[in-house]
Structure 1
């Protein structure tokens, strides 16, 4: 009797459907990331701010009796008043002082060449001979070569200035997109986390561990770096104001920005100023600035950063430093958060893999040991002997 059943259609195979679906998910995921790439900074900072301020949003949500839209609006308004508005005021002050400093240099009231000449004249003879050997002691020639280099690059500078309007427009658009995305992340953050937990093809406890570590690292890195930057910048600006150095807010903001580089960031600003003061006869001011930079500004970095960043993320200080510097060099300013996040996810993924391998090793059945000789008593022992009667392997 012949079999009249038709062979199964290979196009209806469940394995083929699953592979096709995986390829579609991967393809459109990469396409969606490509669409988001021009606005990656705005979306990332919306995500970072939502994570940092989500506890405050939950508190506000309880106050307004769980009205999510109202709570998200109030939280967003608080972020604008507490973070964005003060940052805008400081930025305006920095721009004003930078403009005044530029006008002073242009009018001749501030002469950087004279400052450099005073420093070179104060150097010992051996240092002057080393600079002269490399052709760096003749300051007018050095300044002339620098002027020629600037004149050759004037066309590039002019083209860059022409694009300022476009950059400003892009910044404004990105800023409002960040606020818009931030509002919906605050309002619908809990539902989004639930969808991610269901969609990620891992066990629920593994997904929760990954998400928990991601949130912890972002919150600790943003809070830690921002607090350290603000404190170091304020202390540096205070020292420069006390010493009468022009543009204290400008140099304080520069110290705050460079403080994203752990251990050496702020010293790149106050260090040269202190050296200049020592070489030009202002020994007391130079020693005081060095003491303030090492004992006060440096103490902030050495104490607050490990407490706010390393402790919560449970990462060693050297890994935080390497991840931060590498992230900034690769992703720009956003890298001071992205770098530590990638490092933390690297550690937690390897930890999850180690846990899975240990679980599989414990659940795997023990292979029976081969009998040494067919006639020995060990060979005649029953294979089903209890595990507690066997000697542990060396």
Structure 2
């Protein structure tokens, strides 16, 4: 009796301490999450180095991390800096009156009055929609301006998070397999189940990060290129915005290029509007429709509609990290239920008594 009390007390304290540790790590969730993602994505690179250089954990992890810094971290930092700089510039122009979003929307309404009539059929007030659109544009540019100011004021915190991510990624690259084996020993789920779940976790993380980011880069680059070719102001900014919104399946970059094409047609630039529409539909759209099922859906082994719903839900709940967290939760949900159906469903079926051949129930 006393032994059971000791065990229960220990387990209760174990759960309490674990939750306390998670709460303690909450401020560093972002760096920790992306350190894990880096370790998973670049694990094949490290394995290649192990085959070429032998078992040299520190050297192999350091080289892998340097490759990651060169091809991912540093370009993202430069791109983020350029995005914020362009956003601040547009915000200043809006404040000074050089850019007037409301007038652009009014121009579209004057050129295409059918739009207002169409919206009226659904009891949508064009004036309210216009005000919301203007507020969204102002809010977005103001957000980028605040981010620039915030990074300037919290430079130490920003670089602390970046340094923490890189530091953790090094140790996860070096000792990740040992940590996984330790977790397999600690978790009371059964070694086979745990290995299956960890494999699914790694598979989905790699697929969503690599797939979504690659699609985002391709769509953002294509969108920025066509905007630059057509002489649209802020091509770099809009290219990065298209890359970000392309994380949303089904809609993606069309949120940006469709209004731009409509405005070009409204001001009389018919040929550029047609070019942008054709390029957006055929090139940018096909890049999403063809690559996303291949890069994301196939590797996660989830249907397209579930990838869409889990991505949207993840972004709502977890912010920008949700484009990975959402599909990851959905994949683990499917993995857990798959294990349950395979193991417990078979047990229930095996224990069910079977009727003898030819026997009949009699009243």
Alpha-carbon distance in 2 for matches of 1:192, 1:332: 28
Residues 165, 77 of structure 1: alpha-carbon distance in 2 compared, 3 angstrom cutoff: same
1:282 paired residue number? 269
1:173 equivalenced with 2:160 (yes/no) = yes
Gaps of 5+ in 2: none
Residues 393, 326 of structure 1: alpha-carbon distance in 2 compared, 3 angstrom cutoff: farther
1:60 equivalenced with 2:26 (yes/no) = no
1:340 to 327, 332, 337: 327
| Larger Cα-atom Rg | 1
Conserved 8 A contact 1:101-1:246? no
Conserved 8 A contact 2:35-2:169? yes
Alpha-carbon distance in 1 for matches of 2:225, 2:340: 49
2:75 paired residue number? 86
Q: Larger % of helix: which? A: 2
State TM-score, norm by structure 1. 0.81
Alpha-carbon distance in 2 for matches of 1:47, 1:96: 30
User: Within 5 A, what are the aligned runs for 1:232-247?
Assistant: 232-247=219-234
Conserved 8 A contact 1:120-1:128? no
1:33 equivalenced with 2:22 (yes/no) = yes
Alpha-carbon distance in 1 for matches of 2:39, 2:119: 54
Alpha-carbon distance in 2 for matches of 1:271, 1:22: 57
1:254 equivalenced with 2:245 (yes/no) = no
User: Within 5 A, what are the aligned runs for 1:140-179?
Assistant: 164-179=151-166
Alpha-carbon distance in 1 for matches of 2:189, 2:215: 37
Alpha-carbon distance in 2 for matches of 1:205, 1:275: 56
Alpha-carbon distance in 2 for matches of 1:174, 1:126: 47
Gaps of 5+ in 1: 1-9, 370-389
Residues 135, 206 of structure 1: alpha-carbon distance in 2 compared, 3 angstrom cutoff: closer
1:391 paired residue number? 357
1:187 to 174, 184, 201: 174
Alpha-carbon distance in 2 for matches of 1:162, 1:223: 31
User: Within 5 A, what are the aligned runs for 1:287-298?
Assistant: 287-298=274-285
Conserved 8 A contact 1:313-1:344? yes
Alpha-carbon distance in 1 for matches of 2:352, 2:91: 76
Alpha-carbon distance in 2 for matches of 1:75, 1:159: 34
Deviation digits for residues 341-376 of structure 1 (CA, Å, limit 9, x no counterpart): 000000010111112213423554859x8xxxxxxx
Deviation digits for residues 117-164 of structure 1 (CA, Å, limit 9, x no counterpart): 322221337837988x95839x9xx69x97xx99xxx9x999998755
Alpha-carbon distance in 1 for matches of 2:246, 2:236: 15
Larger deviation, residues 101-110 vs 62-71: 101-110
State TM-score, norm by structure 2. 0.87
1:358 equivalenced with 2:345 (yes/no) = yes
Report the alpha carbon displacement of residue 167 of structure 1 after superposing the two structures with TM.
4.0
Alpha-carbon distance in 2 for matches of 1:314, 1:114: 47
Conserved 8 A contact 1:310-1:317? yes
Alpha-carbon distance in 2 for matches of 1:240, 1:126: 24
Residues 49, 130 of structure 1: alpha-carbon distance in 2 compared, 3 angstrom cutoff: closer
Report the alpha carbon displacement of residue 310 of structure 1 after superposing the two structures with TM.
0.7
Larger deviation, residues 322-331 vs 118-127: 118-127
Report the alpha carbon displacement of residue 182 of structure 1 after superposing the two structures with TM.
0.5
SS, match of residue 289 in structure 1: helix
